[in-house]
């Protein structure tokens, strides 16, 4: 009986009420805590939130980090990294579990990050991304330089100032965040974006890339240790200079780049030569060239003069002049003998050729006469065809103006017994015989009544009179009614 009474006195909860009570108890007892553990089951959701587990060798704790806190991170969490998290302990009733809502996360000391960095460096080096054989030389004087850095920091100003002092070049800036959760993806996309520019397009493709950032802690420089950035730098077809941090700072992008600069300012110095020094070198080379040419000319002239002094002019030219005089005496006789010989050969060859030449000329004249005759016949034929075509066209035009074409459309010509056309109603006397001419024959008819005048005919009296006058003037052209 007492047990029954005791059971009846225990308060009754709903599932939701009990979960809420447990949540309130956890939040009151552990309002804000710091937890150290190793990350596992890390998941960066498309919403921007992060879900993970913190574990050690005895237990694990579920955790969630909302997007605003994720955006404030200075490094990218991943599985296996030991971290210290600060946040609130609460209960998640939908899964009957307690969890920590992380507001701040830090690596568990620099040693953990360095161990992760060294492991990543060995893995990427094993893939050959850091091999010296794949590094390319920088262009001596790039026309366009692409810079990947923050647009608001002192880095871009230092680079531009040093380029202006040494050798002004065209610069394309791709603005990115240089720290925080999204920095690595932005830097990798910027490197890939510069490489995707088509040469000769609206935007000039850079000849050299500089990825730069000022100094900072290992957490601040962590985006440049991310694998996505290292792979983008290694895959760049454009030579790339890494200028991240100060001289003592080393990141993984330094190993993948074609050249590492200790500072952003040093990267600008490595990118271009000093213009004034180049001009001085050119002036020096011009002077050296002129002096070398002058010495060469002087030496060649001296050597020539020495050789001339060693030779007696008459000893060289005397035998040649004697040979020339002998040949000059023989030349007229040889020309006359040659001319006579050729004249004789020409006379002998021309004798048999004269009849053949006459026949050839006759055949040529006959062929020319035949060709001219053919051309004359062709011209006459074409002229006759043109005249026939013109005659045919004129006949067709005359036929088109004939009144018989009008008869084909349903009209008729009224003629008196004598054949004269009846041009108006007054000329048709009652009882008179008329002939009706159609397009396909003639029929006879008799006028059976007096003419009927209509208003239309009265209004057009003037025009009718003109037509009657024209008909009376030329009786050869029938008038249609």
Predicted pLDDT at 149: 94
Predicted pLDDT at 5: 47
Per-residue pLDDT tens digits of the chain, which is 481 residues long: 444 445 557 776 676 666 677 777 776 667 788 888 888 888 888 888 899 998 887 888 889 998 888 888 877 788 878 888 888 888 776 666 788 889 888 877 656 677 778 888 888 999 999 998 989 999 999 999 999 999 988 899 999 999 999 999 999 999 999 988 789 999 999 999 999 999 888 899 999 999 999 888 777 888 998 999 999 999 999 999 999 988 777 889 999 999 999 999 999 999 999 988 889 999 999 999 999 999 999 999 998 888 777 666 556 666 777 788 788 888 888 888 888 888 888 877 777 777 777 778 778 888 888 888 888 878 888 888 888 888 888 877 777 777 777 777 778 888 887 778 887 877 777 878 888 888 788 888 888 876 665 554 444 444 343 344 344 444 444 544 4
Predicted pLDDT at 27: 65
Predicted pLDDT at 252: 92
Predicted pLDDT at 317: 66
Predicted pLDDT at 464: 40
Predicted pLDDT at 460: 44
Nearest to residue 190, comparing CAs of 250, 149, 244, 245?
149
Predicted pLDDT at 452: 65
């Amino acid at each position: 009986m007492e047990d029954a009474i005791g059971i009846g006195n225990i308060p009754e909860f709903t599932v939701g009420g009990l979960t809420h009570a447990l949540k309130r108890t956890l939040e009151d007892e552990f309002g804000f805590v710091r937890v150290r553990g190793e990350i596992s089951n890390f998941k960066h959701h498309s919403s921007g939130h992060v879900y993970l587990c913190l574990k050690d060798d005895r237990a694990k704790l579920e955790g969630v980090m909302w997007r605003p806190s994720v955006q404030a991170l200075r490094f990218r969490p991943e599985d296996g990294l030991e971290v210290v998290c600060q946040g609130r302990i609460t209960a998640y009733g939908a899964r009957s579990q307690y969890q920590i809502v992380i507001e701040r996360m830090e690596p568990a000391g620099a040693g953990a990050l360095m161990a992760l960095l060294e492991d990543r460096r060995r893995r990427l080096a094993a893939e050959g991304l850091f091999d010296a054989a794949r590094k390319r030389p920088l262009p001596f004087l790039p026309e366009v330089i692409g810079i990947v850095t923050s647009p608001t920091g002192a880095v871009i100003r230092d680079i531009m100032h040093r380029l202006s002092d040494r050798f002004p070049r065209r610069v394309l800036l791709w603005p990115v965040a240089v720290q925080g959760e999204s920095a690595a993806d932005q830097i990798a996309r910027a490197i890939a974006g510069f490489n995707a520019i088509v040469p000769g397009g609206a935007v000039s493709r850079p000849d050299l890339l500089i990825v730069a950032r000022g100094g900072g802690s290992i957490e601040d420089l962590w985006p440049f240790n991310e694998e996505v950035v290292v792979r983008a730098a290694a895959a760049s077809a454009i030579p790339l200079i890494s200028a991240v941090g100060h001289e003592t700072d080393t990141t993984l992008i330094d190993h993948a780049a074609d050249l590492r600069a200790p500072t952003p300012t040093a990267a600008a110095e490595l990118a271009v030569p000093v213009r004034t020094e180049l001009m001085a070198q050119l002036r020096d080379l011009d002077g050296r060239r002129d002096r070398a040419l002058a010495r060469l000319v002087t030496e060649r002239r001296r050597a020539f003069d020495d050789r001339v002094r060693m030779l007696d002019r008459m000893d060289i030219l005397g035998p040649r002049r004697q040979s020339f005089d002998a040949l000059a005496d023989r030349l007229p006789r040889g020309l006359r003998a040659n001319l006579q010989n050729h004249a004789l050969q020409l006379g002998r060859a021309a004798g048999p050729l004269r009849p053949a030449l006459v026949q050839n000329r006759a055949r040529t004249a006959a062929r020319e006469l035949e060709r001219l005759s053919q051309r004359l016949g062709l011209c006459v034929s074409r002229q006759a065809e043109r005249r026939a075509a013109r005659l045919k066209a004129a006949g067709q035009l005359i036929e088109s103006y004939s009144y018989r074409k009008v008869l084909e459309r349903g009209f008729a010509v009224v003629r008196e017994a004598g054949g004269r056309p009846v041009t108006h109603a007054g000329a048709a006397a009652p009882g008179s015989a008329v002939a009706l001419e159609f397009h396909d024959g003639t029929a006879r008819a008799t006028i059976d009544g007096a003419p009927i005048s209509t208003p239309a005919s009265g209004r057009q009296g003037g025009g009718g009179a003109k037509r009657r006058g024209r008909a009376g003037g030329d009786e050869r052209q029938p008038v249609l009614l």
